[in-house]
Amino acid sequence: MMKEFNFTTTPIVNIVNEIIIDSVVRNASDIHFDPAEDYLKIRIRIDGDLRDYTIIDNKYKRNLTTRVKLLAGMNITESRLPQDGAIKSVIEGKDLDLRVSALPTSFGEKIVIRILDYSMSMQGIETLGFTDENYKTIMEMLAIPNGIILVTGATGSGKSTTVYSMLQRLNKEEVNIITVEDPVEMSIEGLNQVQVNSEIGLDFAAVLRSILRQDPNIILIGEIRDSETAKIAVRASITGHLVLSTLHTNNSITTIERLVDMDVERYLLSSSLKGIISQTLAKRLCPYCRIQRPANETEKILYKRALGIDVQTLYDAGRCEHCHNGYTGRIALQEVLMINDEIREAINKNIDREELKKLIYTKNKNVRNLLQDGLIKAMQGITDLKEVFRLVDDDDYDDISEQYTDQNINVENNILHNVQNVVPVPNNEVKRVENKIIEPTSNNNPNNTSQNMFDDSVFNSLRVNNEQINTSNYTNNLVNKINQNIPGQQVQTNTQTQPQLNQQTMQNQNQAQ
Ligand SMILES: [Zn+2]
């Protein structure tokens, strides 16, 4: 899988270009040039994980880093101080923006190239993986002329893509859109984008004060980081502007709490806040090799409790030449909350956290938390349960605990119906995989391992592996979660699995937590 370059026949300029193009083609988000004592290792980050890409001999280390620094407009005579640079270019038809950073380490400069690829944001909100219901809610939010809509999530959760997609939708001749960002991540025609520069005192708050005198209709605040920005955002939204912004929180309830912590007054917050979209990114199952299997009893109970539906089949990761360990690309899990009158009043009145949670998640059947959204996407084969459990908070299990208890389990046929009609992976995604994942060696070499992946024996052993992982790894965890958090029936672990493996994986899990 490691790439090799011939430095005696290929000019360094071409090698650097090839590294960048190849990384873009493989949908990498970052390229790392890691200097070691005797070599330079290049790694690329795909779907959130770093993978070894190539090893460069020490002889060429300096030339290679110098070439990257030159491209990024850095000072090539300075290697003792950290530097930042950028490369703008169109590669493979994609408008690319590369942010380059150099850091002096004991074995030379470490360079990281961050590939900012906004082609996703340009494809529209409908391609971001929202369920039909959530998509409809977001359209309703965007039709509101004033108020605040927040997109929340951790760093790297795809917030920017969602916010930019929403701005694209709002970007029309008759409105004045002004953004204040740090940094301006993507230039969009028709927008007035302002870059924060705190060195000269141009911070979010300062820009926002000026923006309000520029007759805006819609304002994007890159991120609400402090109390002053939060307060100006709220003030702007109650004086007739639509404000979009992002916040570093995980779900609706923590977002409301964070804003209150930032000293935003409750009566202002309750009247300005219109919607909260929370998200996280899950690895997407490879559509070529995912393995459909019957759901086990524990999983059936979870689906019944969480969504009120009978799940029959689920999917596990397979392995093939189109993917990395069964996954390719990522998909967002989302929670979309439109603030209704009841929630508005509750925010205003400062009701108890548990009561507010009930209002948001239990009484309000339109809201599905990240766990529920993940379960739906796992059922569709877009991701798997392992990914969902890796990403959701314990809180999410609490929130669903009273939704469908023994007394009121009723199968929500509409969800089931929707799921059956969903094409699990959009066609253009499949095409993207076909066109872009190029393995230069697999075409020429018949003994290549990626071909052997289709051997029945390998396939069967993978299947067995998957079942072991399936029953031992997450199911035990799941049983505990259900027993702890969901009242009613106690669930037993399937005793057929090997106890040793169980214990070991449970230990691993405990360590991971
Ligand atoms: Zn695959």
Distance 433 CA to ligand 1 centre (A): 10
What pLDDT is recorded for position 183? 81
What pLDDT band is residue 400 in, cutting at 50, 70 and 90?
Answer: low
pLDDT at residue 386 tops 60? yes
Distance 319 CA to ligand 1 centre (A): 5
Distance 480 CA to ligand 1 centre (A): 31
Tokens encoding 159: 């917030």
Distance 436 CA to ligand 1 centre (A): 14
Distance 393 CA to ligand 1 centre (A): 28
Average pLDDT over residues 131-145: 94
* Dist. CA 217–CA 221, nearest whole Å: 13
What pLDDT is recorded for position 283? 94
Average pLDDT over residues 14-26: 91
Q: Above pLDDT 90, what percent of the chain? A: 58
pLDDT at residue 471 tops 50? no
What pLDDT is recorded for position 63? 93
Average pLDDT over residues 404-415: 44
Average pLDDT over residues 6-21: 92
What are φ and ψ of residue 332, in 5° steps?
-85, 140
pLDDT at residue 458 tops 70? no
User: Tens digit of pLDDT for each residue in 46-82?
Assistant: 988 899 999 999 999 999 999 999 999 999 999 999 9
Higher pLDDT, 104 or 121: 104
Q: How far is CA 275 from CA 166, 188, 269, in A?
A: 13, 24, 11
In terms of Cβ atoms closer than 10 Å to its own Cβ (0-12, 13-18, 19+), residue 470 is buried
Distance 289 CA to ligand 1 centre (A): 4
What pLDDT band is residue 403 in, cutting at 50, 70 and 90?
Answer: low
What pLDDT is recorded for position 423? 33
* Average pLDDT score, the chain: 80
Beta bridge partners of 147: 242
Q: Above pLDDT 70, what percent of the chain? A: 76
Nearest CA to 219 out of 178, 188, 190, 191 is that of 178
What pLDDT is recorded for position 64? 95
Distance 315 CA to ligand 1 centre (A): 13
Distance 473 CA to ligand 1 centre (A): 21
pLDDT at residue 245 tops 80? yes
Distance 453 CA to ligand 1 centre (A): 10
Q: What protein residues have CB closer than 5 angstroms to ion ligand 1?
A: 286, 288-289, 320, 322-323
Distance 223 CA to ligand 1 centre (A): 36
pLDDT at residue 457 tops 80? no
pLDDT at residue 406 tops 50? no
What pLDDT is recorded for position 93? 73
What pLDDT is recorded for position 409? 42
CB 237 within 8 A of CB 243: yes
pLDDT at residue 493 tops 70? no
Distance 322 CA to ligand 1 centre (A): 5
Average pLDDT over residues 365-379: 92
What pLDDT is recorded for position 401? 56
User: Tens digit of pLDDT for each residue in 274-307?
Assistant: 999 999 999 999 999 999 999 998 899 889 888 8
Distance 215 CA to ligand 1 centre (A): 51
Distance 107 CA to ligand 1 centre (A): 38
Average pLDDT over residues 403-426: 41
Hunting for tokens 């991971």 — which residue is that? 512
Distance 328 CA to ligand 1 centre (A): 7
What pLDDT band is residue 395 in, cutting at 50, 70 and 90?
Answer: confident
